[in-house]
Structure 1
Amino acid sequence: MVQNRLRFRSNGSFSILQFTDMHIQDGGEKDARTLALVDQMIADEQPDLVVITGDVIASYDIEDQEGAFRRAIAGIVKSGIPFAVIYGNHDSEKGITRQRLNEILREYDNNLSIDGPEDVHGIGNYVLTVEGSAGDEAAAALYFFDSGDYAPETIGGYAWIQPDQVEWYRNESMALREKSGNHTLPALAFFHIPIPEYEQVCQVGTIEGIKGEAVCCPKLNSGLFAAMLEMGDVMGTFAGHDHDNDYVGQLFGIQLCYGRVTGYNTYGKLERGSRVIKLVEGSHEFETSIRLHKQ
């Protein structure tokens, strides 16, 4: 497999295109509209990296989960642009496992997704680095987390990022800092289910964008946000899951961002689209905005 190296462009820019909640099913008309959206956004934005933050397929409502997944990523694969995937609560709900989905991804040269450590909860905990424009040293970091699916019945609701995943993040962050001469790399984090701070920011922080539904976060807070504050590297987090939310919230210096729902085969009143994220080499800031489907 070709090793895709992420790198800031010569002008110091690096752009990410986030799709979320595609909910690809059986290849019908709504799927076709979703995939046309993906193709259009990639052609318009020409990003350096494509990220899908979960619920790529609606596995619970179809029989050919593998076929749906291959259709979902076909346009991204064809583009040749490096891409990374994390999973949501619906991807492996029926008929297929996260491990099998990752096996499919490994068939494609521009895939960057990996299973992650076997001794850490979940499939798809990994970090990608973005090299500087003039060399091969890391200039930014991108963390990916498997946020799970559902909590035990005794608790209810959605799963939470587990303590060993938080510890994994701390260790990765410290290792990157040491490798970079005690320099804190600017970083972003991606997961499907929003962490509880997405709800908290609506009460004590500031938000810009649309909050059209309640935040469906886990009932338990396992401390990922606190760890990010302590490590000082993560500037922003990006989630999906709640299709009628697309806001960006500022909480204690970290931006908590929703992607814009991409898939037509699911609930939600918002126009379908994507989120663009732009990094600048050497800066601990980023810009982000919504892109809508032009039909």
Structure 2
Amino acid sequence: MTETQRTPEGMSSKPRIKPADAEDGRPVSISARLGRLQFHYSGKFRVLQIADIQDGPKVSKDTIALIEASLDAARPDLVIFSGNQIAGYDPAFADSFRKRRWCDEPIAESALNHTRALVRKAIGQFTEPLAARGIPWAVTYGNHDFQCGLSNAELDGIYREFPGCVNPPSETLPNQIAYTCGAGGAVQTLSGATGSGEPGTFALPVMDVDHTRNVLGLVILDSGDYVHGGGFGTPSPAALAFLNAVPDRIGAKSMVFQHMPMPEYYNVLKPVAANAAFAMQGYRSHADTYYVLDELQTQPGGYLGEGISCPDTSGEFELLREGYFGVVAGHDHRNGFVGEHEGLLLIATPTCGFNTYGPAPAKRATRLIEFDIRHPYEPRTQLLEFDELVGKPSSKRAYTYAVNQTAPGEGEGDDLLRKPSLWSQLSGLFR
């Protein structure tokens, strides 16, 4: 896997996949046209991850611009929102704010109704670009979504009101099988708009072009929020049992998309002195150590802008040793890297939001992951950054921190969106 973030030297700026003609009213997503997730005749399948929008009822114009530009450049089969879409602490939700799930202060029904309207307004803004292009999408939850006062179960129901949502039960992809997390983690098989399960936790198999077999699975996981006594939570016991059982049902390896990174993400970092260049302090049980990316464990082009904020222990990694090939997380707004630990890809994606903290506005990004049917467990990925896709932000309000890793050099890695220009190919013959 290659992590790339800049246009390699000598490459054109034209997308590899040309946009449909203006009069072509078909969905951009090939999978949406077919009613199921499957590889194209080209042998490719694309997922776009959107992490940490983390906004209130008025979503930043720059966030929407980045989403639109990413969709047009990548033309994904599926988009996955990996949690913290809603900034539950936003002042607009003050009357229904719930700091922790276990807080039991009563909330007036009038306040909840107001929050429901505001949440629908926010969701409508950041999903409209997908609806306009006919691209299906899935969603899971982070540690701030519920703080608006609505449970993840209620949020799940609201998301399913919007066109394109594939969270089960859903009619968006009528030919798609979905596996949901039932009681105790039991794997339930759903087809179409029937059944239910633990919100934000389900699995979607991706089939071959002849839809005769599952090539890989996409597991969307609610990774938890907080625990009593401080720190971040873990997936529920039912969700962990579901993770353990899914591989046998899909019959192929899967990639997990979740909000919270696992503690094992620290294994792709390298301890350094506190005064070392670009050093970042760890979190909680790692707080006495400073880190940088380990160049032997991570792909070129990544950066570490904050310590890994994760649960102290989770037990999740052990369940992923068999039947999985990677985990994609958000949560840490200033981190963007691809690592590998004991054969499992560990991917961190920065925020795409402009009304929350993060890297410099130019580096707010979404993440494209491209699977090739010839080697489906070795996907390629890159960050689609704001400055390259959109340009200058319309506002300077973005809450920024400098990233702590040196920027990748020109020409480093592959670019999934671009191909060499004719001139660069010809000129290369004379070098």
Offset at residue 114 of structure 1 (A): 2.9
Offset at residue 282 of structure 1 (A): 4.1
Question: Could you tell me which residue of structure 2 aligns to residue 166 of structure 1?
Answer: 240
Listed as ranges, the matches of 1:69-148 within 5 Å are: 69-114=123-168, 116-120=180-184, 123-148=199-224
TM-score (norm 1): 0.88
Give the AA of the match of 1:107. E
Say which of 337, 346, 362 aligns to 1:256: 346
Give the AA of the match of 2:202. Y
Offset at residue 86 of structure 1 (A): 0.8
Listed as ranges, the matches of 1:42-57 within 5 Å are: 42-57=71-86
TM-score (norm 2): 0.62
Question: Could you tell me which residue of structure 1 aligns to residue 29 of structure 2?
Answer: none
Give the AA of the match of 1:83. W
Offset at residue 69 of structure 1 (A): 2.4
Secondary structure, counterpart of 2:146 in structure 1: coil
Question: Could you tell me which residue of structure 1 aligns to residue 231 of structure 2?
Answer: 157
Question: Could you tell me which residue of structure 2 aligns to residue 287 of structure 1?
Answer: 380
Q: Is the contact made by 1:102 and 1:114 (CA closer than 8 Å) also made in structure 2?
A: no
Indicate whether 1:36 and 2:26 are aligned. Answer: no
CA RMSD of aligned residues (A): 2.0
Say which of 237, 256, 268 aligns to 2:358: 268
Greater than 4 Å deviation, 4+ residue runs: none
Bigger mean CA deviation after superposition, 117-126 or 281-290: 117-126
Say which of 278, 294, 297 aligns to 1:206: 297
Question: Could you tell me which residue of structure 2 aligns to residue 20 of structure 1?
Answer: 51
Offset at residue 79 of structure 1 (A): 1.9
Bigger mean CA deviation after superposition, 162-171 or 9-18: 162-171
Offset at residue 260 of structure 1 (A): 2.8
Structure with the greater alpha carbon radius of gyration: 2
Query: Which ranges in structure 2 are unaligned for 5 or more consecutive residues?
Result: 1-32, 94-117, 170-179, 186-197, 271-293, 392-431
Q: Is the contact made by 2:83 and 2:145 (CA closer than 8 Å) also made in structure 1?
A: yes
Within 2, Cα distance between the matches of 1:21 and 1:274?
10
Indicate whether 1:195 and 2:262 are aligned. Answer: yes
Report how many residues are paired: 280
Give the AA of the match of 1:119. A
Deviation readout 1:80-126 (Å, 9 max, x if unpaired): 11111111111111232212221122223421113843425852110
Deviation readout 1:107-165 (Å, 9 max, x if unpaired): 23421113843425852110001110122421110111101111112xx1111123332
Question: Could you tell me which residue of structure 1 aligns to residue 409 of structure 2?
Answer: none
Within 2, Cα distance between the matches of 1:282 and 1:161?
32
Query: Which ranges in structure 1 are unaligned for 5 or more consecutive residues?
Result: 178-184
Bigger mean CA deviation after superposition, 233-242 or 68-77: 68-77
Say which of 220, 226, 229 aligns to 2:313: 220
Bigger mean CA deviation after superposition, 80-89 or 66-75: 66-75
Deviation readout 1:156-187 (Å, 9 max, x if unpaired): 1111123332221121112222xxxxxxx232
Within 2, Cα distance between the matches of 1:120 and 1:150?
21
